[in-house]
Amino acid sequence: MMANQQAESSYVLCINDGGYPVSLEVRKVYATLPDERAAEDDYIRVIDETEEDYLYPAKLFVPIQIPPEATTVLFNNVTRHE
């Protein structure tokens, strides 16, 4: 699923790039997509620097809440279909 197919998202702060320095930046906020199967294995689906969604170990991130007004500023390059 590509970023422009995104439905409802939550957000995480990257605390460790996990050896993926091209795809993840420490201290950066990323949108996530729901993936119950991945969550069972402690992974989350993150829209990374490639603007695609990939599975990463959940331990690389901490969940955060962003006010709706701030999401357009933080993620203005991500197309959303709501």
Going along the chain from its start, the domains and CATH numbers come out as 3-67 (2.30.30)
Condensed to tens digits (0 to 9), the pLDDT of residues 24-78 reads 999 999 999 999 999 999 999 999 999 999 999 999 999 999 888 887 787 765 5
- Angle formed at CA 42 by CA 32 and CA 49, multiple of 5 degrees: 35
| pTM of the shown model | 0.76
CA separation for the pair 41, 64 (Å, rounded): 20
CA separation for the pair 11, 68 (Å, rounded): 11
CA-to-CA dists, residue 3 to 40, 52, 66, angstroms:
22, 5, 18
CA separation for the pair 13, 48 (Å, rounded): 12
